[in-house]
Structure 1
Amino acid sequence: ALSNVPPLRNYFLEEENYKSIQRPPGDIMFLLVQRFGELMRKLWNPRNFKAHVSPHEMLQAVVLCSKKNFQITKQGDGVDFLSWFLNALHSALGGTKKKKKTIVTDVFQGSMRIFTKKLPHPDLVSTWIGPEWGFLTPMEVSEPRLPQPAEEKAQLLQNAEYQEMMVESTFMYLTLDLPTAPLYKDEKEQLIIPQVPLFSILAKFNGATEKEYKTYKENFLKRFQLTKLPPYLIFCIKRFTKNNFFVEKNPTIVNFPITNVDLREYLSEEVQAAHANTTYDLIANIVHDGKPSEGSYRIHVLHHGTGKWYELQDLQVTDILPQMITLSEAYIQIWKRREEDETNQQGA
Structure 2
Amino acid sequence: MSDSEEPVPKRSKPQLSEDIYLDTIDRKKLDFDFEKICSVSLNNINIYGCLTCGKYFQGRSPNSVAFNHSILENHHVFINFNNFKVYILPENYEVKSNSLNDIKYQILPSYTQEDLKKFNDPGFKARDLNGNEYVPGYVGLNNMKNNDYSNVILQSISHVSLIRDKLLLSSLDSYKDELNKRFIILVKKLWSSKLFKNHISPHELLQYISILSNKSFGINEQKDPKDFLIWFLNTLNKTFKSDNDSILSKAIQGKILIQNQKPGSKEFKDITTKFWLLNLELPTVPFLKDSKGIQQIQQVKLSKLLDVYKTQEEQLLSNGEIRKYKILKLPKFLILNFNRFKDQKLDLKLSLKERNQTLVEFPLEMEFLGFKYKLISNVINQVETNQDHDKNQWKVQLRHHDNWFEIEDLYVKTKEKEFLFLSETYIQIWERI
User: How big is the shift at 1:303?
Assistant: 1.2
Matched, 1:337 2:432: yes
User: How big is the shift at 1:279?
Assistant: 0.2
Native 8 Å contact 1:237 1:331 kept in 2: yes
Q: CA RMSD in A?
A: 2.0
Native 8 Å contact 2:257 2:272 kept in 1: yes
Q: What is the aligned partner in structure 2 of residue 311 from structure 1?
A: 406
The 2-side partners of 1:244 and 1:49 are apart by 44
Q: What is the aligned partner in structure 1 of residue 399 from structure 2?
A: 302
User: How big is the shift at 1:244?
Assistant: 7.4
Alignment of 1:133-212 (within 5 A): 157=265, 162-212=266-316
The 1-side partners of 2:165 and 2:349 are apart by 44
SS, match of residue 217 in structure 2? coil
CA distance 1:33–1:213, shift in 2 (3 Å): same
- Which of 354, 362, 373 aligns to 1:256? It is 362
User: How big is the shift at 1:185?
Assistant: 2.0
**For each residue in 1:1-47, what CA deviation from the matched residue of structure 2 results, as whole angstroms up to 9, or x when unmatched?**
1111111111211333x63345xxxxxxx222111101011111111
Q: Any stretches of 5+ residues in structure 2 without a counterpart?
A: 1-155
User: How big is the shift at 1:93?
Assistant: 1.8
Native 8 Å contact 1:21 1:94 kept in 2: no
- Which of 278, 289, 298 aligns to 2:382? It is 289
The 1-side partners of 2:173 and 2:303 are apart by 42
The 1-side partners of 2:193 and 2:273 are apart by 41
User: How big is the shift at 1:207?
Assistant: 4.2
Matched, 1:235 2:336: yes
The 2-side partners of 1:326 and 1:81 are apart by 23
Length-normalised TM-score, structure 1: 0.73
The 1-side partners of 2:272 and 2:350 are apart by 35
Length-normalised TM-score, structure 2: 0.59
Task: Please say which of residues 33-42 and 201-210 is displaced more in the overlay.
Answer: 201-210
Amino acid across the alignment from 2:173: K
Native 8 Å contact 1:114 1:167 kept in 2: yes
Amino acid across the alignment from 2:252: F
The 2-side partners of 1:58 and 1:66 are apart by 12
The 1-side partners of 2:350 and 2:375 are apart by 36
**For each residue in 1:250-302, what CA deviation from the matched residue of structure 2 results, as whole angstroms up to 9, or x when unmatched?**
0000000011x11126xxxxxxxxxxxx1000001000111696111111101
Identity level (%): 33
The 2-side partners of 1:168 and 1:15 are apart by 33
The 2-side partners of 1:228 and 1:7 are apart by 18
Matched, 1:34 2:189: no
Native 8 Å contact 1:289 1:329 kept in 2: yes
Native 8 Å contact 1:210 1:221 kept in 2: yes
Native 8 Å contact 1:282 1:336 kept in 2: yes
The 2-side partners of 1:280 and 1:335 are apart by 6
The 1-side partners of 2:204 and 2:427 are apart by 24
Alignment of 1:8-157 (within 5 A): 8-16=163-171, 19-21=173-175, 30-94=177-241, 100-120=244-264, 157=265
The 2-side partners of 1:184 and 1:44 are apart by 45
Native 8 Å contact 1:112 1:170 kept in 2: yes
User: How big is the shift at 1:245?
Assistant: 8.6
- Which of 412, 420, 423 aligns to 1:328? It is 423
Q: What is the aligned partner in structure 1 of residue 62 from structure 2?
A: none
CA distance 1:49–1:311, shift in 2 (3 Å): same
Amino acid across the alignment from 1:52: H
Amino acid across the alignment from 2:163: L
User: How big is the shift at 1:92?
Assistant: 2.0
Native 8 Å contact 1:113 1:225 kept in 2: yes
The 2-side partners of 1:41 and 1:52 are apart by 13
SS, match of residue 254 in structure 1? strand
The 2-side partners of 1:58 and 1:8 are apart by 17
CA distance 1:257–1:246, shift in 2 (3 Å): closer
Native 8 Å contact 1:207 1:223 kept in 2: no
Amino acid across the alignment from 1:239: R
Q: What is the aligned partner in structure 2 of residue 123 from structure 1?
A: none
The 1-side partners of 2:298 and 2:311 are apart by 26
User: How big is the shift at 1:58?
Assistant: 1.1
The 1-side partners of 2:425 and 2:166 are apart by 28
Amino acid across the alignment from 1:206: K
User: How big is the shift at 1:111?
Assistant: 0.9
User: How big is the shift at 1:246?
Assistant: 4.5
Native 8 Å contact 2:338 2:426 kept in 1: yes
